[in-house]
Structures are given as C-alpha cells and as structure tokens.
Amino acid sequence: MAHDTYGLKYFKVKQDIVLVKLYGRWEVSGDRQPALDALKTLHEKRGLKRVEFDTRQLSAWNSSLLTFLLNIHSFCARHHIEMVRTGLPRGVERILSLALAVPEKKDARTGPQTTPFVDKVGAWALDQVNTSTEMVAFIGEVCVASLKMIRGSARFRKSDLMLFFQQCGAQALPIVTLISLLVGLILAFVGAVQLQMFGAQIYVANLVGLAMSREMGAMMAGIIMAGRTGAAFAAQLGTMQVNEEIDAFKTMGIDPVEFLVLPRMLALVCMLPLLCIYADLMGIAGGALVSIGMLDISAVEYYVQTKASLNLTHFGVGVFKSAVFGVLVAIAGCLRGMQCGRSSSAVGDAATSAVVTGIVFIIVSDAVMTVIFTIIGISMQAIEAKIDVRDLTMADGDFDIQRDHTFE
C-alpha cells in the first residue's frame, strides 16, 4: 500500500454499520476531495445507522481531512446516522469537537438577495432628491459667501488665492496648449476635405476661427479644467474631510465655504476666461498649420481671412461661457469634496464624481446658453456677413475664387 497518496475504503461491519478506513497522506487540495457517493449508495441500499473510522494507516493529514469529515458529519446529521469519532486521530477529534461545539444557525448562510425593480427605482429617486437638496443648499452657501466677499467681510487667506491662481492658470497652460492646438488642427483638416471639393478651402480659416472662438475654445478649456482642477479640488477637500479638518474649522467658528471653497471658485472663474482666449489662439494656430501645410494657403491669407470673419462678439460669447463653466466646475469639485465620506476610497469616488458632474454641467449649460443666445439674436445666423465675390471663373471643372470679402 503506497503511503504517498491518500485513499479510503468502506467496509460493512454489520447490516447497518459501515467502517470508513482512511490511509496514506491526506494532504490534498479542495478540488480533489473524494466524493461521498459510495456512502450515499450504501445508505440508500441498507439504511445505515452508524459510521465508524479506522485511521491506523493514516500517515499525514491537513485541513483536507477535516473538510472531508465535516462533509460526512453533515450527511450523517441529515439522515440521522450516528458518527463515531473515537477511531480518529486525537488532533482531528479535538478540532472536530471544537468545530461542532456550537451548532450553526439556520439563517447563518444567506444566499444572494435580489432587490425588486420598484425598490431600486424608489431608492434612486430618493437619492436624487437628497443630492439635489444638498446641491441647492451648497449653492446657497456659496452665494452667501460671495456676497460677504463683495462686502469685504469674507475670511480667506490671500496667499491661498494666489496659489490657486497659479494652479488654475500657469500650470494648466501645457495641457491646454496641446489639446487646443490638436482640436484646431482636426477642425481644419475635416473642413478642408469638404471645402476642397468646391475650391473654397480659404474658408477653413472662417470655420476654425468661428468654431474655436464661440464653442470649442471655451468647452475644451472647461472640460480640461473639470478633469484637472475639479478633480484636484474634490480630492483636496475630501482628504480634509477624512482627516476631520473641516470639522475642526466648524468647531473654531470658521465657515469652510468661505475659507476653502470661495478662493478656489474665484481663482477658477478668473483664470478660465484667460485660458479660453489662449485656447482660441492655439486652435487658430492649429488651423493655420493645416492650411499652410496642406491647402497651399499663405500665412498672410489665413490671417486676413480669420480677421475678417471674427469680431469681438464671437470672442465675447466664448469668454462669457468660459466664466460660467468656471463657476460650475468649481461648484462641482468643491461640492463632491465636501460630500466625501470618511474612508480613503471615498476620496477617489469624490474625485471621479466631480469630473463627471463638471462635464455634465458644462455640456448642459453650453446647450442652454446657445439656445438663449439664438433667441436674443447673438448667434452666428444673426451676424450678417456680406461676401462680395468680384471674380468667379470656372476652368476645367474647378472653381477659382479670387477673394475680396467684407464682413459686417
């Protein structure tokens, strides 16, 4: 008999008594546990009343033997069969006695619970109501703090404000430069593919200039700041919430909205319009790279066409939108930070939620402002443009447009 493997045999002692003989090394993994099919078959055929054990040839054992014996005990308990443990090793018998000293409760093992769909919808609705209430209350606190700042009674450190100016402004220039330049390049390339079909590739300058100054410059700068600065604000305030620093401010009588939220929002509102103008210029520069490199348009022609197609109204719309985006991004980041839980994982959740909330705020507010501007007449359709084409000739199916355009 090999002792480097494990095994068991069943011997019938009497009509209703079975002897389980264990031998070898019972040091096997859980997926190789022997089944109880033979014992079940014996019980079905003869109606067992008692199970005994013989472990004299058992050379080594570990928890796998205990698992097997517990399975036999459960089987015997279900079928009212007596299990005699006197033939087991002393260590195994003592461990089994401790394991079976306190019976398992009937409801101790619960399966996966399923929540009805109506309950899920109700819980979601209540959560949205609570979130909206907290958001409105937070916006009210920010408005009160802003009024105190206007009156000169708000309490925050100017050094913190200067630090946030640097974080929201100069430190954001590299990523704004890269993204805006590529966005302008993409707009020019996509527009050139269509305009070249009509020989009107000069109007790539109009396309890039209008798109960047009115929409894309402000939106891209806002989204960049939502992912960069909004998440940073949420992480900073969330960490302070975990460390109970915000509770300490309240204990000392210092309003955390004035001291922590207000300088962050002020810095973002002041810096985002400047970043928007910078993003507009970088996008126009990206369009110039495509026009000069691919469309055979000189730098002077691109500059003249861009200057003719733009006015201060276009830049004013973009700057106004960026200021609104700055308020929304700051509110989203600071709100999620103030709502952060007390665990370390809650800080990451707050940062993620701040980015998502900020981007949603930007997209929704941009759509609303675009509709409002269209209603009041500040839209691209309301800005009249007169194109005086002095000479239009057709040669070999291609249009050759000599440009002499004036925009009002």
pLDDT digits (tens, 9 = 90+) for 277-310: 999 999 999 999 999 988 888 899 999 999 998 8
Q: How far apart are the C-alpha atoms of 338 and 346, rounded to whole Å?
A: 11
Q: Please state which CATH number belongs to domain 6-99.
A: 3.30.750.24
Q: In whole angstroms, give the CA distance from residue 222 to residue 280.
A: 13
Tell me what the mean pLDDT of segment 146-164 comes to. 89
Amino acid 273 reads: P
HSE of 377, CA atoms in CB hemisphere, 13 A: 1
CA nearest to 378, candidates 218, 214, 219, 222:
214
Q: Are 245 and 222 in contact (CB under 8 A)?
A: no
Torsional sign, CA 227, 228, 229, 234: positive
- In terms of Cβ atoms closer than 10 Å to its own Cβ (0-12, 13-18, 19+), residue 95 is middle
pLDDT of 256-267, one tens digit each? 999 999 999 999
Question: How far is Cα 140 from Cα 134, in angstroms, rounded to an integer?
Answer: 10
Q: Render pLDDT for 175-221 as a digit per residue (tens, 0 to 9).
A: 999 999 999 999 999 988 888 888 888 899 999 999 999 899 999 99
Q: Where are the domains of the chain?
A: 6-99, 133-393
**Higher-confidence position of 143 and 399:** 143
Phi, psi (rounded to 5 degrees) for 11 = -120, 135
Q: What is the pLDDT averaged over residues 70-93?
A: 84
